[in-house]
Structure 1
Amino acid sequence: MRRSVWTVAWLLGLVISGGSALAQGAGEIAELKRAIADLQKRLQEIEDKQKQETEQRAKAPQPVAAGFGKIKIGGLMQSWYSTDSEAADSVRLRRMELSLSGEITPKVTWRTMFDTTKVLGLNTTTAGGNVTSVAVNAAGNVLQDMLISYALSPELALDVGQYKVPMSMEGLRSSSELLTVERALFNTGALGIRAGRVGDVRDVGAQLRGKYPGVEFAVGLFNDGGPRQNATDDNDQKALLGRLVHKPRLPDGQTLQLGLYGAEGDTTAARTKRNRLGAELSYNNGPQTLELEAVRADDAAVRSDGGYLLYGYRLNDTWQVVARYEQWDPSKAVVNDRERDYLLGATYFLKGKNAKLQL
């Protein structure tokens, strides 16, 4: 009888122990179910977010796809209002430039630019009071730049095509970077291409340009075609042009640029001498800017010279004031024809050089 009692007690202990284990297992299963439900909830939230982002990307404007390599689109729009005591007041669409540039390989790049405000003109030839021929005036071509560049090294590159010749610090600047509304007299279209004009001139040719610490240079051969841009040359002569710039190291907040540039050639069909010589200086110290250029031009027997002195002061991030004195003598052989101009101006920057109002 005593043996039966122990057996029953032992069996009862097993039942009690097994029941405790079953209860613990049920609790773990419930906890796992809650964890799985939480993971499913988080996964659903991630899927919903990804779906929403995919729908937003589908609605967003798609970027322009390049056919080959990298392509960048740019442009410049400039409108003028001018008032003159000796001429009619006028609103003018001065520039509307559209540019494309790209990279074929890391060493080969290209650029082209059109100015759609160019006015188409005609050159006519008459004989006996009758028009005998009509041709498009090349000065009105909308094509401004078209060139290919090859990087010989990180510091050295070769440019071939039509672009601005390396003459004049101010002439090489984009119109968006000018401190004044218009360039100095010797860099403007008022002189024409072949009447003493020095900078802001485009021509077809090839140049080697370099940029090293403290030194920049460019030297090239050009057709010197004047207004005959994007056209075959009418003679075998080519103009040699070059520019050398030194930028010494200065304390922080200051920059200095000293440069010389020149051109030599007898590039017309009649082998007329056309030479240019100029010097430039630019100094920046905090809000202050001082610039100076002096030039001389020889066109056959006519010698011209002139230059400008400019001072600018940046009042704050929004306003800059500028003063410029310039003079230009279109012919040293003619007495009392030197022009002297005084300019006071101001610039209101809406977004740096990319959007501004100038007076």
Structure 2
Amino acid sequence: MKRSTLALSIGALLAGGQTALAQDMPSAEEMWRIIQQQQKQIQELKARVEDTDMKADAAVEAVESGGGTGGGATWAETTQIGGYGELHYNNLDGSGGASDKDELDFHRFVLFVNHQFSDNIRLFTELEIEHALAGEGQPGEVELEQAYVEMDLNDYHRAKAGVFLLPVGILNETHEPNTFYGVERNPIEKNIIPTTWWAAGAGLSGELGQGFSYDLGVHEGLRITDATSFAVRGGRQKSAEADASDLAYTGRLKYTGMPGLELATTLQHQTDITQGSVANAGSANLFEAHGIYSKGPFGLRALYARWDLDGSGPETVGADEQFGWYIEPSFRLNEKWGLFARYNEWDNRAGNSSQSEMTQVDVGVNFWPHPDVVLKADYQMQDNDNGQDQDGFNLGVGYQF
């Protein structure tokens, strides 16, 4: 084939290929339409990615704030579970008509569940089983001792509403077994105050400066129905369908402005301590004052409490004045061992205006193998005006967590 023929053939092929390519290529209008469709698809994909990111951020925020059902880890950080318990062994010899006592008793098993809703709103609860077994014909009870919501009003004042422990005495608010000496709680804060004492209502508390603080409360009152003794302890309603015909008012002033020192006094008033159930009874007033001092290994506690009941009913049975006091020095030998002695004197009449004064001396030792675990042993000696004494020893183990 000649070169001219070959060149013509190649030129024809190229021209045909270009014609085919020109026929296959889209027009300018079609190219613009394709570009717009692709741009729309890109925008849709971008919007989907942004929406996914927003949902992921919202889920993370919900978890971190403890909201929803997925806040497990943070819920654990804002909710606290604790409690305490104590087992007692009492070996007491009765005289003058008092009974002997040889008994093992898991006196208290308590669980706390507290929750922090926000920086200034929190919940406190306390559920207790007394004497290990509750139910009809059983010695124990299941009791809700605390269930209240507290809110900060500002940096120095708080308000609360619900069921709470009343601000009176030393042990009523702080009674975990590793925080006090002796197997049993002292008889003054058992029979006169009476610990443990809680009520449904509302309260205010706060700091006044210079080491002073206050507590105020309006709450259910006592309801004493036993007109033969007017024993205060039997009047606790325990917030169980409590008769609120006559409310009680409690106020406390406390000073803690010096290291190792606490001084406090509480006043309470109730217009009718029987809620109208006893015609010849009237108002009741409680006065309590105590001091706590510690310096190095030496410790000292002292408390005085007094009830004044108006009306001819309490006066007739000699229960119009019920009072008691104790003093308790103690000494820490080291971090694990401590010794104490306590003198108690009280008179709650018990329906008998004569020979009703009671005294008890306790001496004993506490051993803390861990700061939150305690083993206790003490010996008690009574000298009561009615001659009905119980002398002997007590052993106990307690814990808190």
Q: TM-score, normalised by structure 2?
A: 0.63
Matched, 1:264 2:274: no
Superposed displacement of residue 164, structure 1: 0.9
Superposed displacement of residue 213, structure 1: 4.4
> 1:72 maps to what in 2?
80
In structure 1, how many angstroms separate the alpha carbons of the residues matched to 2:183 and 2:354? 30
> 2:253 maps to what in 1?
244
Superposed displacement of residue 262, structure 1: 1.3
* DSSP 3-state at the match of 2:117: strand
> 1:308 maps to what in 2?
326
* DSSP 3-state at the match of 1:171: coil
In structure 1, how many angstroms separate the alpha carbons of the residues matched to 2:155 and 2:185? 32
In structure 2, how many angstroms separate the alpha carbons of the residues matched to 1:165 and 1:319? 31
Instruction: Indicate how the Cα distance of structure 1 residues 149 and 69 shifts in structure 2: closer, same or farther if over 3 A, else same.
Output: farther
Matches within 5 A, 1:76-95: 76-86=84-94, 87-95=100-108
Counting matched residue pairs gives 273
Matched, 1:97 2:105: no
215, 220, 230: which one aligns with 2:217: 220
> 1:294 maps to what in 2?
304
* DSSP 3-state at the match of 2:188: helix
In structure 1, how many angstroms separate the alpha carbons of the residues matched to 2:135 and 2:321? 29
Matched, 1:337 2:373: no
Matches within 5 A, 1:338-353: 338-352=357-371
> 2:37 maps to what in 1?
none
In structure 2, how many angstroms separate the alpha carbons of the residues matched to 1:99 and 1:111? 8
Instruction: Indicate how the Cα distance of structure 1 residues 68 and 90 shifts in structure 2: closer, same or farther if over 3 A, else same.
Output: closer
In structure 1, how many angstroms separate the alpha carbons of the residues matched to 2:221 and 2:121? 26
User: 2:129, 2:141 within 8 Å by CA — same for their partners in 1?
Assistant: no
In structure 2, how many angstroms separate the alpha carbons of the residues matched to 1:285 and 1:277? 28
* DSSP 3-state at the match of 1:276: strand
> 1:115 maps to what in 2?
128
Matched, 1:209 2:189: no
Matched, 1:168 2:169: yes
Higher relative contact order (CA 8 A, sep 6+): 2
Matches within 5 A, 1:4-153: 65=73, 70-86=78-94, 87-117=100-130, 120=134, 140-153=141-154
In structure 2, how many angstroms separate the alpha carbons of the residues matched to 1:294 and 1:121? 36
| 5+ residue gaps, structure 1 | 1-62, 124-135
Which segment drifts farther, 148-157 or 303-312? 148-157
* DSSP 3-state at the match of 1:350: strand
Superposed displacement of residue 90, structure 1: 1.3
For 2:81, give the aligned amino acid.
Answer: I
In structure 2, how many angstroms separate the alpha carbons of the residues matched to 1:84 and 1:167? 30
For 1:269, give the aligned amino acid.
Answer: Q
In structure 2, how many angstroms separate the alpha carbons of the residues matched to 1:213 and 1:345? 36
Q: C-alpha deviations, 1:166-194, integer Å up to 9, x for none? A: 11123222223112222221322xx4xxx
In structure 2, how many angstroms separate the alpha carbons of the residues matched to 1:147 and 1:217? 18
In structure 2, how many angstroms separate the alpha carbons of the residues matched to 1:65 and 1:140? 34
> 2:381 maps to what in 1?
none
* DSSP 3-state at the match of 1:187: helix
User: 2:163, 2:200 within 8 Å by CA — same for their partners in 1?
Assistant: yes
| 5+ residue gaps, structure 2 | 1-70, 95-99, 223-234, 315-319, 378-401
For 1:171, give the aligned amino acid.
Answer: N
User: 2:193, 2:305 within 8 Å by CA — same for their partners in 1?
Assistant: no
> 1:231 maps to what in 2?
240
Which segment drifts farther, 341-350 or 199-208? 199-208
User: 1:240, 1:263 within 8 Å by CA — same for their partners in 2?
Assistant: yes
In structure 2, how many angstroms separate the alpha carbons of the residues matched to 1:326 and 1:242? 25
> 1:277 maps to what in 2?
287
> 2:187 maps to what in 1?
185
User: 2:205, 2:214 within 8 Å by CA — same for their partners in 1?
Assistant: yes
User: 1:168, 1:198 within 8 Å by CA — same for their partners in 2?
Assistant: no
Instruction: Indicate how the Cα distance of structure 1 residues 293 and 180 shifts in structure 2: closer, same or farther if over 3 A, else same.
Output: same
* DSSP 3-state at the match of 2:260: strand
Q: C-alpha deviations, 1:244-270, integer Å up to 9, x for none? A: 111233xxxx52222111110024321
Matches within 5 A, 1:320-331: 320-331=338-349
User: 1:198, 1:276 within 8 Å by CA — same for their partners in 2?
Assistant: no
User: 2:331, 2:340 within 8 Å by CA — same for their partners in 1?
Assistant: yes
Indicate the percent of aligned positions where both proteins have the same amino acid: 20
Which segment drifts farther, 92-101 or 199-208? 199-208
Q: C-alpha deviations, 1:125-164, integer Å up to 9, x for none? A: xxxxxxxxxxx99x93421211110011222111211121
